[in-house]
Amino acid sequence: MAINLKANTGCEKSVKVLKQLVPNKSIHGSPSSDSETWKCAFSPDDTCFAWSAGHRLVTILPCSDITAKPCRKSRLVPITIDCGDLVRSLKFCSIKQLDSTKNFWSRFAQFKDFFLITGHGTGRIRVWDLIAGKILLELVAHKDIVTDISLLPCSNQIMASTSNDGFLKIWNLTEEGNLIETLKIDGKPLTSCCWSPNGKFLAVTGASKLVHVYDTTEFKVVYVLAGHQHNVSSCDFSPDSSLLATGSWDARVIVWNVATGNKLKEFFHLQPPPRSIYAAGENGHFIRHLSFSPDGGHIASVADDGFFRIWDLDNIENPEAISPIDQALCCSYSPSGSLLAIGTRLGTVSIMEPRACVKSLLFLCRSSLKKTQESTDVTNSTIIPNTLVEYLNYKEC
């Protein structure tokens, strides 16, 4: 199935649905309040895919089972794990990146590539071996639903978790899940957290309408970003760590400059944009989740209006692609950017093939340079011509 769309850049777009993943009806029965796919994720090496299939279940599949496109082969066989409690968040973690520090994981895990971490409605966090389907570790500290999990990039040694109990917790996975930091943000439920790819920042969102950005050296607040008019449901950093995208129940995606804390762009799921009194209430367009593309030039978002959208950072007027999908809750790009997964309240997942136009050479050079810069702000650089400084700092937006 392919849905033809006309891109605003003048090229024809097509969002191809490669596969529809459906939960086992013999286990699920009829749809219920526990059937939702709250989160889905691809493994760091792009070989496996996992989704919370509702009713306490998580299913893990090799990517070769969900696409006919050439992809890296996985040694993992398909497995469905009964996690014991409703799964509200999940994330893959590479064991290889932990081995050099501590061999706990390699000694006890049968699958030596990575394990799966799940956050539950009971407040518990569990670490799973993906061959035996057994718990390797259980972390007990949150007192309410664990809404999100994020791992420090590159090392995977430090994990952050958010909960409806209003606390952000930081865990050390090399010390068998030792709790090293507990931060009470503002007392209201927290919805998501995300490390920047360079590991310097941690963004946290919640029901306060604010976005808190922490410096991860001492876990001190760097910015409190105010701009949304309703609960902020999701956040994600660009691959070069320069931009932070946040989605809210106010039907808006806001893109922020990480170096300055300034608002750069807004993308609206509802046109014309709702006035404040409507944005802060029920508007039928609550944004549930978003995901930055690996090329750094696009953002995928899903909302209650029955559509998913792919936005081009260079075009704020209209989405580059839009397609109907009912009751969507989450979305996730694969590390290669060749696949986009969208989970729904029915426990199903649509695996799509986003076909975005190749970004300009200027854009790609900026992204490459920002990834190698020591700082996200190059204003004071003496090696870059002044004419390029504003562009490199996204100040042309």
- Please identify which residue in the block is written with the tokens 């404040």: 276
Give me the tens of pLDDT residue by residue for the chain, a chain 397 residues long.
Answer: 333 333 334 443 557 888 999 986 555 544 555 789 999 999 998 999 999 998 899 999 998 888 776 666 777 889 999 999 999 999 999 876 665 555 566 666 777 788 999 999 999 999 999 988 999 999 999 999 999 999 999 777 899 999 999 999 999 988 888 999 999 998 899 999 999 999 999 999 999 999 999 999 899 999 999 999 999 999 999 999 999 999 999 999 999 999 999 999 999 988 877 777 666 677 788 999 999 999 999 999 999 999 999 999 988 888 988 889 999 999 999 999 999 999 999 999 999 988 766 778 888 888 877 777 655 555 556 667 777 777 777 765 5
312, 320 contact by CB (below 8 A) = yes
Looking at residue 368, its pLDDT comes to 79
Looking at residue 393, its pLDDT comes to 77
State the Cα–Cα distance between residues 138 and 50, nearest whole angstrom. Answer: 19
Strands 298-303 and 232-237: unpaired
Looking at residue 165, its pLDDT comes to 97
Looking at residue 70, its pLDDT comes to 63
Measured at the CA of 133, the angle between CA 104 and CA 106, to 5 degrees, comes to 20
147, 119 contact by CB (below 8 A) = yes
DSSP 291-353: EE-TTSSEEEEEETTSEEEEEETT--SS-SEEEE-TTEEEEEE-TTSS-EEEEETTS-EEEEE
Every domain of the chain and the residues it spans: 2-361
The residues pairing with 130 across neighbouring beta strands, listed in sequence order, are none
pTM of the full structure: 0.88
DSSP 229-270: SS-EEEEEE-TTSSEEEEEETTSEEEEEETTT--EEEEEESS
94, 44 contact by CB (below 8 A) = yes
Looking at residue 270, its pLDDT comes to 84
State the Cα–Cα distance between residues 157 and 154, nearest whole angstrom. Answer: 9
Nearest C-alpha neighbor of 124 from the set 105, 109, 137, 108: 137
Q: Is 358 exposed, middle or buried (0-12, 13-18, 19+ CB in 10 A)?
A: exposed
Q: Which pair of structure tokens corresponds to residue 294?
A: 């690996």
State the Cα–Cα distance between residues 217 and 162, nearest whole angstrom. Answer: 19
Nearest C-alpha neighbor of 66 from the set 397, 350, 369, 365: 350
Q: Is 394 exposed, middle or buried (0-12, 13-18, 19+ CB in 10 A)?
A: buried
State the Cα–Cα distance between residues 104 and 191, nearest whole angstrom. Answer: 31
Query: Which uninterrupted H or E stretch holds 61?
Result: strand 57-62
Looking at residue 71, its pLDDT comes to 66
DSSP assignment, residue 143?
A: S
Q: Is 300 exposed, middle or buried (0-12, 13-18, 19+ CB in 10 A)?
A: buried
CATH of domain 2-361: 2.130.10.10
Q: Which pair of structure tokens corresponds to residue 209?
A: 């309408």
Looking at residue 9, its pLDDT comes to 41
